[in-house]
């Protein structure tokens, strides 16, 4: 649940970083779950959300977080896939997250998606801390489960601490190369000016108390004003995923970042063919500490207040789009709300050309990321849309003049049954993959073969 009226909104904390650096495992440890183990190849494919109540935070953080010091209801964590950047983690043109944790594998150091995450945070002006993860893999490390970092650090051998220090200073140096003044978090006075680095292990929980203390302190001290909003007004959110749910049909998983949503509200949702105007049938809330992405049990509730992850069941949601805005109408002018949703959808359109390939992706975020990757490789796009491969896509792709453009690139999508036969009968080649750079590489290999 969000705060009481006049209380504070739950801060939204995005967890970003390179693939396999430990984002999901870190959240698993905090919420006491095993989401990472259930993922195919331990790769996160969709953005998720988990509400972690203040009790859980203070329990994990031990002496470092005294719950009576805080009037924040807890933290809403957003997990992101590390294999491509999520530029659509946004709200009303701004950033969805209030603060962020950039997870860096202490041995691997900075990697492409680390830098991409930092660039996004810099562009959106989002304050963040760096979690220098996997300290338990430092040669000679003696784990002390759940202890604050300085306590466990003091118990290590000189050779282990000097190896860890070396890696930590490399990370601090890399941050400085990216234009951030950074230091180990206990030396940082003002977290809005300097980036704090928190050494930790998602497996042994060492240093996690420190991370939670820093996040709570940062939110409470520097974001109190931002959190003191009316959490009972008409809600605004971002769609994470569109999913069929037994007994409800198509539903949307939403991060509500402002106001509230009620079980009898009229809503406007960004869809494949423009705004969808519908009425909430049910609000399904994941339990505290549950990841909405994998949760199977939901509580039916009458109202949810920001910030929260919530599954919304309503008629007509089949064409809703992941990454699109959702708005509550309630006492506002319906037309104005529709205009607002339309304007936001227009902002995320991918620019296309007269000649090029057809791109299909599962969310607006991945479509945008695909478009960026293709632009970097100078591959022109004829049409780019969210959704599964349909007969119409085959028809469009087959009109391309050049053989190398009679192609559909599908990211994380299925081929509709009636499109399969059309694909077989046409000259159109389909490439599908769930890793963007592999998809681009496969296509580039195909072009080389044709041009040879």
Number of residues that bind ligand GTP (CB under 6 A): 22
Q: Cβ 407 to ligand GTP, closest distance in Å?
A: 27
Candidate list 98, 116, 136, 253; residue touching ligand GTP; CB under 6 A = 136
Binding-site partner at residue 137 among Mg ion, ligand GTP, none, CB < 5 to 8 Å by type: ligand GTP
The Cα 89–Cα 165 span in angstroms is: 33
The Cα 306–Cα 236 span in angstroms is: 9
Q: Would you give the binding string for ligand GTP spanning residues 348-387, x where CB under 6 A is met?
A: ----------------------------------------
Binding of ligand GTP by 134 (CB under 6 A) = yes
Residue 300, Cβ density class (10 Å: 0-12 exposed, 13-18 middle, ≥19 buried)? exposed
CA of 289: how far to CAs of 27, 75, 101, 298, 311, in Å?
A: 9, 10, 18, 12, 15
Binding-site partner at residue 332 among ligand GTP, Mg ion, none, CB < 5 to 8 Å by type: none
Binding of ligand GTP by 33 (CB under 6 A) = no
* Of residues 67, 99, 212, the one with CA closest to residue 146: 212
Residue 329, Cβ neighbours under 10 Å: how many? 18
Q: Which is nearer to ligand GTP, 58 or 201 (CB)?
A: 201
Candidate list 99, 202, 310, 389; residue touching ligand GTP; CB under 6 A = 202
- 84 φψ region: left (φ > 0), alpha (ψ -120 to 50), beta (else): beta
Binding-site partner at residue 336 among Mg ion, ligand GTP, none, CB < 5 to 8 Å by type: none
Binding of ligand GTP by 21 (CB under 6 A) = yes
Q: Cβ 370 to ligand GTP, closest distance in Å?
A: 17
Q: Which residues are annotated binding-site positions for GTP?
A: 17-24, 79-83, 133-136
The Cα 353–Cα 368 span in angstroms is: 15
Element (H, E) at 214: helix 208-222
Binding-site partner at residue 202 among ligand GTP, Mg ion, none, CB < 5 to 8 Å by type: ligand GTP
Selected range binding ligand GTP among 40-48, 179-187, 256-264, 356-364, rule: CB under 6 A:
40-48
Selected range binding Mg ion among 16-24, 208-216, 390-398, 422-430, rule: CB under 5 A:
16-24
Binding of ligand GTP by 144 (CB under 6 A) = no
Residue 316, Cβ density class (10 Å: 0-12 exposed, 13-18 middle, ≥19 buried)? middle
Evaluate whether 168 touches 134 at the Cβ level (below 8 Å).
Answer: no
Count of residues in the chain: 452
Dmax over CA atoms of the chain, in Å, equals: 70
φ, ψ at 75 (rounded to 5°): -135, 140
Q: Which is nearer to ligand GTP, 17 or 127 (CB)?
A: 17
Q: Which is nearer to ligand GTP, 352 or 372 (CB)?
A: 372
Binding-site partner at residue 46 among ligand GTP, Mg ion, none, CB < 5 to 8 Å by type: none
Residue of minimal Cβ distance to ligand GTP: 82
The Cα 92–Cα 400 span in angstroms is: 36
The Cα 430–Cα 111 span in angstroms is: 30
Residue identified by tokens 């009109």 is 399
Binding-site partner at residue 283 among ligand GTP, Mg ion, none, CB < 5 to 8 Å by type: none
Token readout for 154 is: 């003091």
The Cα 273–Cα 345 span in angstroms is: 10
Binding of ligand GTP by 30 (CB under 6 A) = no
Binding-site partner at residue 22 among Mg ion, ligand GTP, none, CB < 5 to 8 Å by type: ligand GTP
Q: Would you give the binding string for ligand GTP spanning residues 62-91, x where CB under 6 A is met?
A: -------------------xxx--------
Site for Mg ion in 35-94 (CB under 5 A): 44
Residue identified by tokens 């660039």 is 119
Binding-site partner at residue 327 among Mg ion, ligand GTP, none, CB < 5 to 8 Å by type: none
Binding of Mg ion by 33 (CB under 5 A) = no
Residues 6+ apart with CB under 8 A from 208: 26, 29, 30, 60, 61, 146, 200, 201, 202
Binding of ligand GTP by 203 (CB under 6 A) = yes
Q: Interface residues with ligand GTP (CB under 6 A)?
A: 17, 19-25, 36, 42-44, 81-83, 133-134, 136-137, 201-203
Q: Interface residues with Mg ion (CB under 5 A)?
A: 23-24, 44
């Amino acid at each position: 649940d969000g705060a009481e009226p006049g209380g504070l909104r739950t801060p939204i904390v995005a967890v970003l970083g390179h693939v396999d650096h430990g984002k999901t495992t870190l959240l698993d440890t905090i919420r006491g779950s095993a989401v990472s183990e259930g993922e195919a190849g331990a790769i996160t494919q969709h953005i998720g959300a988990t509400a972690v109540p203040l009790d859980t935070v203070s329990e994990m953080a031990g002496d470092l977080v005294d719950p009576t010091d805080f009037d924040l209801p807890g933290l809403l964590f957003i997990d992101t896939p590390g294999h491509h950047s999520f530029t659509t983690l946004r709200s009303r043109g701004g950033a969805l997250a209030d603060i962020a944790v950039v997870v860096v594998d202490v041995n691997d150091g900075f990697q492409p998606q680390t830098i991409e995450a930092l660039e996004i945070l810099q562009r959106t002006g989002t304050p963040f801390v760096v979690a220098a993860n996997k300290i338990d893999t430092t040669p000679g490390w003696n784990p002390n489960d759940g202890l604050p970092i300085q306590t466990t650090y003091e118990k290590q051998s000189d050779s282990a601490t000097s190896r860890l220090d070396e890696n930590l200073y490399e990370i601090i140096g890399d941050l400085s190369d990216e234009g951030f003044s950074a230091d180990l978090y206990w030396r940082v006075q003002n977290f809005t000016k300097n980036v704090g680095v928190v050494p930790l292990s998602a497996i042994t929980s060492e240093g996690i108390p420190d991370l939670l203390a820093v996040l709570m302190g940062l939110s409470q001290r520097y974001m109190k004003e931002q959190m003191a909003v009316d959490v009972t007004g008409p809600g605004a959110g971002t769609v994470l995923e569109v999913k069929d749910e037994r007994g409800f049909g198509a539903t949307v998983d939403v991060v509500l970042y402002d106001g509230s949503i009620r079980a009898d509200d009229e809503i406007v949702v960004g869809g494949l063919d423009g705004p969808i105007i519908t009425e909430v049938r049910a609000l399904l809330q994941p339990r505290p500490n549950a990841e909405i992405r994998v949760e199977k049990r939901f509580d039916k509730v009458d109202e949810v207040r920001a910030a929260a992850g919530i599954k919304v069941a309503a008629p007509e949601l089949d064409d809703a789009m992941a990454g699109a805005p959702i708005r509550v109408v309630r006492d506002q002018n319906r037309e104005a709300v529709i205009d607002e949703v339309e304007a936001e959808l227009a902002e995320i359109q991918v620019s296309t050309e007269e000649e090029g390939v057809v791109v299909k992706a599962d969310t607006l975020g991945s479509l945008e990321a695909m478009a960026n990757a293709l632009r970097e490789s100078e591959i022109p796009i004829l049409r780019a849309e969210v959704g599964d491969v349909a007969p119409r896509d085959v028809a469009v792709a087959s009109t391309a003049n050049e053989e190398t453009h009679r192609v559909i690139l599908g990211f994380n999508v299925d081929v509709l049954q009636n499109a399969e036969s059309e694909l077989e009968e046409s000259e159109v080649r389909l490439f599908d993959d769930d890793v963007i750079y592999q998809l681009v590489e496969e296509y580039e290999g195909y072009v080389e073969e044709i041009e040879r």
